[in-house]
């Protein structure tokens, strides 16, 4: 294996994941840091990147490419959004230089469902990295779902991100699980209760009314309280799987690419297969690495 030529970082709100990559994009070394931008004071990102990240990966002299919330208003420096439609070439031409050998990938912006904008930071690098992994993916139309705290449903046409819809499903689950009538410390690992929640999601409409079923099934029925987190997860993911693709496309999709964490993708797959949608699952980390390499490799 050739020596590393690039330091690549996915720097989010709570965590920083870093890799050094060789001249064909293979991982030479990797490291996690508890350096999420939400934990850093203004100006601290640059200092700790040089003092901690570079030395840990023996990458003091390598060019670096960063994506994620590090390019937001609470990050190292704001990297202005690029407008959709956008592909790899568009983002490569809009990288923000924050130090002599450090660049940040811009996020993406499109027209949202309420007339205002919708935005993403970090997910665009994974989606474009997924495209870069296989030339055949760069033609035709694809619907890509990136599950997470703020899940993204992305329409890709001929290698460019055309538009996307954001669903705050993960954050809503966290808020309801910790700060509402539905709060519980039980793990969300009951498959039967999850499936019950999927069924209760219907077509994703009247979510506020459907949410109360998570309470009523326990206090007015025979469901166990410890099954509530799994039921709630199914209800929220099922509602998203039913409604978000229609907001994106105007119709239900026939095929969806799931891109992200394996455990979370498994839950989304369960929800989509229930709706007779064909699903393919791909590793989000591998896609992020491919995207960062495609955008930042020395030319």
Q: Is 200 among the domain residues? A: yes
Name the pairing type of β-strands 96-99 and 108-111. Answer: unpaired
Q: Summarize pLDDT for 113-163 with one digit per residue, the tens.
A: 999 999 999 999 999 999 999 999 999 999 999 999 999 999 999 999 999
Domain total in the chain: 1
Residue (of 138, 61, 132, 73) closest to 101 by Cα position:
61
pLDDT band at 61 (very low <50, low <70, confident <90, very high): very high
Alpha carbon 53 to its chain centroid, in Å, reads 23
Q: Counting every residue, how long is the chain?
A: 299
Alpha carbon 18 to its chain centroid, in Å, reads 17
- What is the arrangement of strands in the sheet containing 82-83, beginning at the earlier edge strand? 82-83, 108-111, 117-120
Q: What span, in angstroms and rounded, lies between the C-alpha atoms of 224 and 193? A: 10
Residues 183, 177 contacting (CB under 8 angstroms): yes
User: What SS3 state is found at 152?
Assistant: strand
Assess whether pLDDT exceeds 90 at residue 229. Answer: yes
Q: What is the pTM of this model?
A: 0.96
pLDDT band at 164 (very low <50, low <70, confident <90, very high): very high
pLDDT given for residue 299 in this prediction: 77
Residues 181, 175 contacting (CB under 8 angstroms): no
Q: Which tokens is 215 given?
A: 């309470």
Residue 50: DSSP 8-state: I
User: How far, in Å, are 78, 116, 248, 251, 277 from residue 143 at the CA level?
Assistant: 28, 22, 9, 12, 11
Residue 299: DSSP 8-state: -
CB atoms within 10 A of CB 48: 16
Q: Summarize pLDDT for 176-186 with one digit per residue, the tens.
A: 999 999 999 99
Q: Is 75 among the domain residues? A: no
Q: How many CA atoms lie within 13 A of 182 on its CB side?
A: 24
Residue 110: DSSP 8-state: E
Alpha helices in 136-212 (DSSP H): 169-179, 191-200, 207-211
**142 is in which domain, residue-wise?**
108-291
Assess whether pLDDT exceeds 80 at residue 167. Answer: yes
Q: Is 275 among the domain residues? A: yes
Q: Summarize pLDDT for 170-207 with one digit per residue, the tens.
A: 999 999 999 999 999 999 999 999 999 999 999 999 99
Q: Is 139 among the domain residues? A: yes
Q: Is 179 among the domain residues? A: yes
Give Cβ neighbours of residue 248 (< 8 Å, ≥ 6 apart).
143, 153, 154, 155, 163, 164, 165
pLDDT band at 298 (very low <50, low <70, confident <90, very high): confident
Query: What CATH number corresponds to the domain at position 230?
Result: 3.30.420.310
pLDDT given for residue 1 in this prediction: 57
Q: Is 74 among the domain residues? A: no
Q: Is 33 among the domain residues? A: no
Q: What span, in angstroms and rounded, lies between the C-alpha atoms of 79 and 223? A: 48
pLDDT given for residue 43 in this prediction: 92
Q: Is 284 among the domain residues? A: yes
């Amino acid at each position: 294996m050739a020596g590393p030529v690039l330091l690549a970082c996915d720097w989010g709100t709570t965590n920083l994941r870093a890799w050094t990559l060789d001249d064909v994009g293979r991982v030479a070394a990797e490291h996690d840091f508890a350096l999420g931008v939400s934990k850093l004071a203004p100006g601290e990102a640059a200092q700790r990147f040089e003092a901690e990240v570079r030395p840990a990966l023996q990458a003091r002299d390598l060019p670096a490419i960063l994506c994620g919330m590090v390019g937001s208003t609470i990050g190292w420096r704001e990297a202005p959004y690029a407008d959709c439609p956008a592909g790899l070439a568009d983002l490569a031409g809009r990288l923000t230089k924050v130090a002599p050998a450090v660049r940040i990938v811009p996020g993406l912006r499109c027209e949202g469902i309420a007339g205002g904008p919708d935005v993403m930071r970090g997910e665009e690098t994974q989606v474009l990295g997924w495209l870069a992994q296989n030339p055949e993916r760069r033609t035709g139309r694809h619907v890509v779902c990136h599950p997470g705290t703020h899940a993204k449903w992305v329409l890709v046409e001929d290698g460019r991100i055309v538009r996307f819809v954001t669903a705050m499903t993960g954050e809503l689950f966290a808020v309801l699980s910790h700060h509402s009538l539905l709060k519980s410390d039980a793990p969300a690992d009951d498959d039967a209760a999850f499936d019950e929640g999927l069924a209760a999601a219907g077509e994703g409409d009247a979510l506020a009314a459907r949410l109360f079923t998570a309470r009523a099934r326990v206090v007015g029925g025979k469901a166990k309280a410890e099954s509530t987190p799994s039921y709630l997860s199914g209800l929220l993911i099922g509602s998203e799987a039913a409604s978000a693709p229609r907001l994106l496309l105007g119709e239900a999709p026939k095929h969806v690419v799931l891109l992200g964490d394996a455990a979370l993708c498994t839950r989304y797959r369960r929800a989509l297969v229930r709706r007779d949608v064909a699903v393919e699952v791909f590793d989000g980390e591998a896609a992020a690495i491919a995207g960062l390499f495609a955008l930042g490799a020395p030319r």
